[in-house]
Chain A
Amino acid sequence: MSGSKPESVPVPNPRVTWEGCSVLLDINDGDRLVFARLSSGSTLKIGNKTCSLQPLIGCPFGSLFQVESGKEKPYLSRFVPPTEENNVQDEGGLQLQEESRDNRALIDNNQAQSLTGEDIDAMRRQGATGDEIVEALVANSATFEKKTQFSQEKYRLKKQKKYAPRVLLRRPFSRSICEAYFKKYPVRIGFLRVDALSLLLSMANVTANSDVLVVDMVGGIVTGAVAERLGGTGTVCSTYLGGTPYSIEIIRMFNFSNEICKRILRCSFNDLCSVQNEMGEQVNQHEDVCTMESQSNEKASVSVSTEDFHLSSKNGGADLVPENELSTSSKTCKAPKAGEKAPKEAIQSWKENGFSSLIIAAPEQDAWSLVKDLLPLLTYSAPFAIYHQYLQPLATCMHNLQLEKMAIGLQISEPWLREYQVLPSRTHPCMQMSGTGGYILSGTRLCTNTSQP
């Protein structure tokens, strides 16, 4: 499937939200991540407060909101952070002074704070803003002045998060979606870390106008990421073994245009292989599967979710939320349908031309059994990338590919990603990091029909 006109591609990813759009809400700097769909009726629960998401409609992505108490009920109000030009100068100046304070005078007797819970509630009733409460807490802390500047900052931040939580409106991209899942529900995406996902896309040379074959048993994150890179051109074919397609529900989180959704097709492995022989028969045989499939799609797109990821440690205990619990709440707009059954013309074209890339992310499957069947569908000299959370299946697969001389440039890579805290005089790698992002076997398919000169 080629020959798409570039001029038909609409402007990707508008930068302002609209009614019915999918958003990623980042609460208190990544402590909690919530996928939501904006509508007049949708709400967000922060602590014990429930706020309407209505004020977020029509706002630019990247806007910051703060929870305000309000007369009747709490509401989200746009928060414009002050330009920190002056603060930065001050901070820099202070940093140059030797820090003489330390923690020798701190005694952990739980009496440092003289404001009680009742005092704070009273302040709230009188309409104090979150910021005012934070200032009051600072003023009434017996130990605040004795803290080092660094720990004063930490104290303020902690109180701000509790009494004046902030919500950042993020644009759902494969980056943010993958990170959100990896942080809280890594199992659902087969522990595929964002850097590994980025490598899959590069190593498989995914670009506009390509025809990409994927085996996506990681919830649809790979199919979605590929579709994002195709931008409404080419095709991504999500193939599956057996009669039931794998779930690609994560695709609903992207705000894909119809143009992009149309390019996401599904086709069973049997149909991909047998098309050449008895095409008519095959298509008929699978007609019923096709209807079933589109029904399940329908269901998937109705159950638009406000998928809630609690990332703060106190909520961290709650592990995998069951599927049905996730797809509750708002019954608003439908996400455009993606993942239609591939039409026979598309299958025919793939058969004739071969796919231009192959990506496999199937943590439950043996890499080699998939590769030996799927590689022949890939055109000569086309690159492929296979993800696995374990090394061994890829090692075996690589060894067999070498023996069979099916591919070249074979390499197993494991990405290593470390984040840094960068602050004046306090720069160091972050104390916690992800230990593994999985392994990738990459290579290029060889032409197997060359006759010797």
Chain B
Amino acid sequence: MLPMDSAKKISFNRCISDGDLVIVYERHDTMKAVKVCENSVLQNRFGVFKHSDWIGKPFGSKVFSNKGGFVYLLAPTPELWTLVLSHRTQILYIADISFVIMYLEVVPGCLVLESGTGSGSLTTSLARAVAPTGHVYTFDFHEQRAASAREDFERTGITNLVTVRVRDIQGEGFPDEFSGLADSVFLDLPQPWLAIPSARNMLKQDGTLCSFSPCIEQVQRSCETLRSDFTDIRTFEILLRTYEVREWKMDHSKSDDGDSVACPPCKRRQPSSEASAGDKASSPAVMARPSAETRGHTGYLTFARRKCVS
């Protein structure tokens, strides 16, 4: 997924080959990660797709099934991966992920600690940010979940950047071997305040911490714990509003009966009727409006820096 190996980096000359991970794109909300295997097929509502047809085509190609249906084959990115990974836990999405990485000041070469691993959505983006020389150590107390995450990182080819370990960070804290070495620590735990003293010990001075919590009570308690050894404690909430775009035929003509003047709110609905398309006074215009349904809350992001005392 990450261009660590220049031969595998996407380019005009890079074609899909046996063993590649591709994202099969049906629609913006229907995608699937598939490992290309010469003798294998993909079956979906559009028909049967032979992997052998894909090999040798560039990423971003449109490919057809036996029935003439089509999908697109995309090169995997952490953003696409977040949309296709199997949800073993609640995951972090792009807005929170982007903000966390920017606010934690994660740059190439950083050592980052994360707990819990969960489904590895954030982990993948953290790996992208610390590459090529940094490393992410991620901890989860759930053995099976850690194993699945390890398999996923194997699949996405980021194992040289990520190490998954099984450990109860709330109960035991982070391993001492990282003491004073971490540039950043990320906590997504039910009781983050229990892990904060250990996180403090792991961090370099002026190192950054982020705790993600869905509930304000968790934030309240974490902030109280943070106050003793941390500074610059700030809590945020970030959401993304998405927009729908379509072309309207705007009706500029004044109705003879004065209707449009009498009830302006109705004008908004009028253009949607296809009947008005032929109107002599209408002109096409591209318009945007917020999508009707949207995520209302993900979690609060609390950031802090370890106090600098020496």
Decide if A and B are genuine partners: yes
Residues in chain A within 8 A of chain B (CB atoms)? 2-3, 6-7, 9, 11-13, 15, 60-64, 80-81, 83-85, 88, 92, 171, 173-175, 194-195, 197-199, 201-203, 205, 207-210, 228-234, 352-354, 356, 379-383, 391-392, 394-396, 398-399, 408-420, 422-424, 427, 429, 439, 444-447, 449-450, 452-453
Q: How far is the CA of A206 from the CA of B234 in the complex (A)?
A: 26
Closest CB-CB distance, B101 to chain A, in whole Å?
A: 7
B155 within 8 A of A: no
Which residue of A7, A205, A231, A394 is within 8 Å of B108 (Cβ)? Answer: A231
- Cβ-closest chain B residue relative to A7: B133
Within 8 A of A (CB), among B44-75: 53, 57-64, 72-75
Residue contact B308 to A444, C-beta cutoff 8 Å: no
Residue contact A424 to B3, C-beta cutoff 8 Å: no
Within 8 A of A (CB), among B227-250: 227-229, 231, 233-243, 245-247
13 additional contacts (CB under 8 A) given A195-B238, A205-B78, A429-B237 = A62-B306, A174-B102, A202-B79, A203-B98, A379-B12, A381-B59, A382-B10, A411-B28, A417-B238, A419-B236, A424-B224, A447-B57, A452-B64
* Binary A-proximity of B4-25 (CB < 8 A = 1, otherwise 0): 1010011111100000000001
B2 within 8 A of A: yes
Residue contact B288 to A391, C-beta cutoff 8 Å: yes
> Can you name 25 A-B pairs with beta carbons within 8 Å?
A7-B133, A60-B310, A61-B206, A84-B228, A198-B101, A202-B101, A205-B77, A205-B128, A208-B4, A229-B108, A232-B108, A352-B12, A353-B9, A395-B286, A399-B286, A410-B28, A414-B241, A415-B239, A416-B238, A416-B239, A417-B99, A419-B234, A429-B237, A444-B74, A447-B58
Residue contact B94 to A202, C-beta cutoff 8 Å: yes
Q: How far is the CA of A450 from the CA of B56 in the complex (A)?
A: 11
* A229 and B107 contact, Cβ closer than 8 Å, known pairs A61-B206, A198-B99: yes
The prevalent SS among residues of B at the interface is mixed
- Cβ-closest chain B residue relative to A452: B64
Name the residue among B61, B223, B310 with the largest chain A CB count within 10 angstroms: B61
Residue contact B204 to A203, C-beta cutoff 8 Å: no
Which residue of B53, B102, B233 is within 8 Å of A198 (Cβ)? Answer: B102
Residue contact A413 to B241, C-beta cutoff 8 Å: yes
Residue contact A415 to B309, C-beta cutoff 8 Å: no
Residues of B within 8 A of A412 (CB): 242-243, 245, 288
Residue contact B237 to A420, C-beta cutoff 8 Å: yes
Residues of B within 8 A of A2 (CB): 3, 6, 9
Q: How far is the CA of A60 from the CA of B234 in the complex (A)?
A: 21
B263 within 8 A of A: no
Residue contact B3 to A356, C-beta cutoff 8 Å: yes
- Cβ-closest chain B residue relative to A421: B235
Closest CB-CB distance, A253 to chain B, in whole Å?
A: 14
Residue contact B286 to A207, C-beta cutoff 8 Å: no
Residue contact A62 to B245, C-beta cutoff 8 Å: no
Closest CB-CB distance, B195 to chain A, in whole Å?
A: 18
* A175 and B242 contact, Cβ closer than 8 Å, known pairs A6-B133, A60-B206: no
Closest CB-CB distance, B201 to chain A, in whole Å?
A: 14
Which residue of B25, B94, B204 is within 8 Å of A199 (Cβ)? Answer: B94
Q: How far is the CA of A414 from the CA of B294 in the complex (A)?
A: 12
Residues of A within 8 A of B262 (CB): none
Residues of A within 8 A of B228 (CB): 83-85, 88
* A422 and B205 contact, Cβ closer than 8 Å, known pairs A12-B108, A209-B9, A447-B61: no
Closest CB-CB distance, B211 to chain A, in whole Å?
A: 11
Q: How many A-B residue pairs have CB under 8 A?
A: 259
Residue contact B237 to A418, C-beta cutoff 8 Å: yes
Residues of A within 8 A of B238 (CB): 195, 415-418
- Cβ-closest chain A residue relative to B288: A395
* A175 and B206 contact, Cβ closer than 8 Å, known pairs A210-B3, A411-B28: no
Residue contact B235 to A381, C-beta cutoff 8 Å: no
Residue contact B25 to A409, C-beta cutoff 8 Å: yes
Which residue of A233, A392, A420 is within 8 Å of B300 (Cβ)? Answer: A420
Residue contact A84 to B227, C-beta cutoff 8 Å: yes
Within 8 A of A (CB), among B209-227: 216, 219-220, 223-224, 227
Residue contact A64 to B243, C-beta cutoff 8 Å: no
Residue contact B109 to A422, C-beta cutoff 8 Å: no
Q: How far is the CA of A70 from the CA of B18 in the complex (A)?
A: 72
- Cβ-closest chain B residue relative to A83: B228
Residues of A within 8 A of B152 (CB): none
Q: How far is the CA of A85 from the CA of B226 in the complex (A)?
A: 10
Residues of A within 8 A of B9 (CB): 2, 209-210, 353, 356
- Cβ-closest chain B residue relative to A178: B102
Q: How far is the CA of A11 from the CA of B74 in the complex (A)?
A: 34
Q: How far is the CA of A12 from the CA of B130 in the complex (A)?
A: 11
* A60 and B79 contact, Cβ closer than 8 Å, known pairs A201-B102, A447-B59: no
Closest CB-CB distance, A170 to chain B, in whole Å?
A: 9
Closest CB-CB distance, A13 to chain B, in whole Å?
A: 7
Residues of A within 8 A of B102 (CB): 174-175, 194-195, 197-198, 201
Residues of A within 8 A of B133 (CB): 6-7, 9, 231
B287 within 8 A of A: yes
Which residue of A203, A392, A444 is within 8 Å of B94 (Cβ)? Answer: A203
* A171 and B206 contact, Cβ closer than 8 Å, known pairs A2-B3, A2-B9: yes
Q: How far is the CA of A202 from the CA of B57 in the complex (A)?
A: 26
Residue contact B61 to A230, C-beta cutoff 8 Å: no
Residue contact B132 to A228, C-beta cutoff 8 Å: no
